[in-house]
Amino acid sequence: MAQFVEVEVDVETGHVEVVRVVSAHDVGKAINPQSIEGQVEGRVIQALGYSVMENLVTDKGRILNPYLSTYLIPTIWIFPKK
């Protein structure tokens, strides 16, 4: 698996915009290609969320964020459709 992400960063505000994602995978013989596509897309979204949205604060393995109910994670509604 290899991925490339092109981003634009506003150096004054720190705002990051993801312009393009390229993801290549060697999955062998795909029994269900649609399932594999979903897995790849889900992992890309999870990685993007972790890198540009999430702010999990820990100390020695203990989570310090006060409320996980208000913790911002990516959902399908914030990403554009193909």
Cα of first residue to Cα of last residue in the chain, in angstroms, is 21
CATH number at residue 34: 3.30.365.10
For residue 81, the model assigns a pLDDT of: 65
Could you tell me how many residues make up the chain? 82
Q: What string of H, E and C letters represents the secondary structure of the chain?
A: CEEEEEEEECCCCCCEEEEEEEEECCCCCCCCHHHHHHHHHHHHHHHHHHHHCCCCCEECCEECCCCHHHCCCCCHHHCCCC
Indicate the number of domains in the chain. 1
For residue 33, the model assigns a pLDDT of: 93
Residue that wins the pLDDT comparison between 20 and 73:
20
Note the pLDDT tens digit of each residue in 33-82. Answer: 999 998 998 888 888 888 887 788 889 999 888 887 777 777 777 766 66
Q: Is the pLDDT score of 10 beyond 90?
A: yes
Q: Which range marks the domain in which residue 17 is found?
A: 2-78
pTM: 0.66
Strand duo 58-59 + 16-24: pairing: unpaired
